[in-house]
Amino acid sequence: MGTPVSTPKKQNDGQVPGQQNRQLAQTVKSESTKKERAMICAAIDFGTTYSGYAFSFAHSPLEIKANYWPDGSIKTPTVILLDPDGRFHSFGKEAMDKYSSLLHTKEHKQWFYFDRIKMVLYEKGTPLNLDVTIEDKEGKPMKAIDIFTMAIEYFVHQLVATVTDKNRLDGLNFTPSKDIHWMVTVPAIWNDKSKLFMRNAAVKAGIPDDMLTLALEPEAASLYSRNNISDARFVGFRYILLDAGGGTVDITVHELNEDNSLTELYPPTGGDFGGTDVDNRFLQLLNDIFGISLMQKFKSDCLEEFIEMMSEFEIAKRRFNGTGKLIMKFPASLIEMYEFESINTCEHALEAASLNESIEIKFGRIYINANVVKKMFQYSVNEISNAIRNTLNKVENIQKVVLAGGFSESQHLQLVLTETYGFKLLEVSSEPSGAVLKGAVLFGHTPGCIVARVCPRTYGVARMVKFRPEKPYSNPPDKKITIDGKDYCDGIFDIHIQKGTKVAVTERSDIKEHVYFRPSLFVSNIIVEVFASDSLDPKYVDEPDCEKIGEAVIEMDPMVKMRSKIMVKLVFGGTELELVVRDEVRGETIKTFFRLT
C-alpha cells in the first residue's frame, strides 16, 4: 500500500497551467455532449420491492412515457426467476405466476427464485465485491452481479422493444447503443462501492459505459416534485425530499434557484427503515403465533400462498390509517398446516401468544387491532420522523417536507408525520411511487438542474512521505517501510476534499491536482489508491472508518527520471466519484470510474 509517493510539499506545488485544465474540461464536455445528443433518455428504477422503466424523447422531454404493467401499476414486483440451468426466464408478476405453476407440479426446487435482492448492496458489514453471492428462496447461492445484470438486461430489452414498437422510428437512424442515454437509479445513501456495483451490472447488461448515468433516487424524486410543491414559487425556497422506498429511506435537502435549478444544502441521509421493515415485523408476529419452524415450512411448501399473503399485506399496509383494524385475506393452508402439525386450534395459538384479545382469524381473514399494527410501524415511522427532525435542526428555513416513494403512500405514516410536523409543512408528491422513475428521466435530459452537491465523505489518496523518526506522533514506527535504502512513512491519507464541502457540479476544471512521485527508479508502475472516510480529518488509510473504494494502475517508463510527476485529481459534484490521472511526461490522461474486483 502507499505508492505513489508524494514529497512533503504544499499541495499546490506543481499545479498544471490553466491551459491543461481547460483541456480536461473540454474532454469532460465532449463526453457530456455525447449524452446530450441522445435521441432518448431512458430510466430504470430498480427498487427493493418494485421496479419499472420510463423514457422520453429529446424533442419532448416532459412527455414521459412510463410502462404501466397489466395490473395498472407503474412498477412490477422485483422478482427474478431463472431456469434450472441458471438462465434468465422472467421478471416481476410473470416470474411470480410461473413459479406458482411450478409449485403446483413440484418442479420449483430446481429453479431459482430471487426477490428483494437490492438490500445486499446496503447491508452493513458485508464485503462488497463481484464475488458476493445471494441465496434464492430455496437457499441456493448465485453471484449477485449475475442476478443484477440479468434484471437490468431485462429492462433494457423491454424498453428498447417498447420504443421501437410503439413509436414511429421508421426513417430515423436509431441505434440503441448511441441514441439512448440510460439512467439507473440508486439510493443516495449507498456508499461508493454499492454504486460501482450497480454500474458494473448495468455495463455488463449491455449499457455503454459512456451512455450511463446513475441517478440518485431522492434527487430524481425532487426534480419530479419541485414544480408541483405548493408555495414553491420563489428563489431560495428550501425543502426536504424524503424518498421512502421498500428497503431504504433517502433524504435530501434542496434550495430552488432563480433558473429553477436546485442546490443541495446538506449531505444525503437516511437508512434501512423503509416499508420492508413493517413486512418483517408482520412475519415476526406470525412467528410468535405459529412458531418459526412452521412458518419456514409454510413458506417452503406453500410459497404461492405465502407470496399472495404478503401481497395482501402490502395493500392493507398502505390503507391502514392508525384506527380500526387491519383486515386482509389469510391463507387457510397455514391454519390447516398448524392444526395438523400441533394438533391444536388456531385460537389456541393466539391464546398461547397472548394475542387472542387483539387478533382474530376467521372466515379466511385476519383481523388485527390497531395497537398491534402500530407496533409494526413504530420503528420505521419513528426513524423517519427522527430523520426529518434531525435534518430540520441542521438546515434552517425549511418550508416543506415532501414525501415520495412507495412507502410514503402509507396512510398511517402520512398521518403520524402530519400530526408531528403539521399539514402546512408536510406534503405528498403526486404519484409518489413513480416520482423517482419519472424524475430520473427529467434528470437525464437536464443534468445541470442540480448545480451543487455536498460531499458526503472525506476522500483522498494513499501516499508515502519521508520517514522522520524525530516525529513519532506523525511517523509511527509500525508504518515505516524501506525502499532502495530510503525510509518512508506509509499509508498517509492525503485529503483531496473534506466531508461537508459544497461542490459546484459545473466547475470541474477548477479542481486542484495533487502531485505524486514514484518511490523508486525500478518501479515500472504506480498504483493510485483512493480512500473514503466518514471522518473530517483522517490521518491514515487504515483507520476504522476508512474504506478503499478503488485504484488505478499507471505504467511508468523506466527511462524517465524518477522525479517525473503524476498529477491526480478526484472529480466531485456528480452522482459518482471520478478519478483523473495525468502522466506529466507522457501527457496522457486517464479518466475513469472505479471498478470493483
* Per-residue model confidence as pLDDT tens digits over 190-212: 988 899 899 999 999 999 999 99
Q: Is 483 in the same domain as 548?
A: yes
Claim to verify: residue 241 and residue 168 sit in the same structural domain: no
pTM for the complete prediction?
0.87
pLDDT at res. 236: 92
339 and 383 in a common domain? no
Q: What region does 42 belong to: left with phi over 0, alpha with psi -120 to 50, or beta?
A: beta
Regarding whether 53 and 157 lie in a shared domain, the answer is yes
Among residues 176, 192, 215, the one where a domain terminates is 215
Q: Could you list the residue range(s) of the whole structural domain that residue 76 is in? A: 40-215
312 and 349 co-located in one domain: yes
Residues 316 and 334 in one domain: yes
Position with higher pLDDT, 556 vs 203: 203
Q: Is residue 557 scored above 80 in pLDDT?
A: no
Mean pLDDT of the region 518-543: 84
Q: What percent of the chain has pLDDT over 70?
A: 86
CA–CA separation, 305 and 297 (whole Å) = 12
Q: How confident is the model at residue 17 (pLDDT cuts 50, 70, 90)?
A: very low
pLDDT of 510 reads 65
Residue 54 CB coordination number (10 Å): 24
Q: What is the pLDDT of residue 20?
A: 33
Please say which residue of 333, 359, 375 terminates a domain: 375
DSSP code string of 509-549:
GGSPPEEEB-S-TT-SEEEEEEEEESSSS--BTTSTTEEEE
Per residue in 430-472, pLDDT (tens digit) is 889 999 999 999 999 998 899 999 999 999 999 988 888 766 6
pLDDT band, very low/low/confident/very high, at 521 (cuts 50, 70, 90): low
The CATH number covering residue 487 comes to 2.60.34
Dump pLDDT digits (tens) for 142-184: 999 999 999 999 999 999 999 887 666 665 677 888 899 999 9
What local confidence, expressed as pLDDT, does residue 173 receive? 73
Arithmetic mean of pLDDT over the chain: 86
The per-residue pLDDT for 562 is 54
| Alpha-carbon separation of residue 442 from 220, 256, 493 (angstroms) | 8, 16, 38
pLDDT at 211: 94
In a domain, 20, yes or no: no
List the one residue out of 286, 241, 240, 220 whose CA is nearest residue 449. Answer: 220
How large is the average pLDDT for residues 215-242? 90
Task: State the Cα–Cα distance between residues 306 and 300, nearest whole angstrom.
Answer: 9
Same domain for 95 and 135, yes or no, is yes
For residue 573, pLDDT over 70 is answered with yes
Residue 427 pLDDT greater than 70, yes or no? yes
Q: Is residue 468 part of a domain?
A: yes
Q: Specify whether 576 is located in the same domain as 476.
A: yes
Give the residue-averaged pLDDT of 91-114.
91
**Structural domain count of the chain:** 4
The answer on 400 and 467 residing in a single domain is no
- What grid cell was written down for 374? 402500530
Phi, psi of 547 (to 5 degrees): -145, 130
Q: What is the CA radius of gyration of the chain?
A: 27
Q: Average pLDDT of 302-328?
A: 92
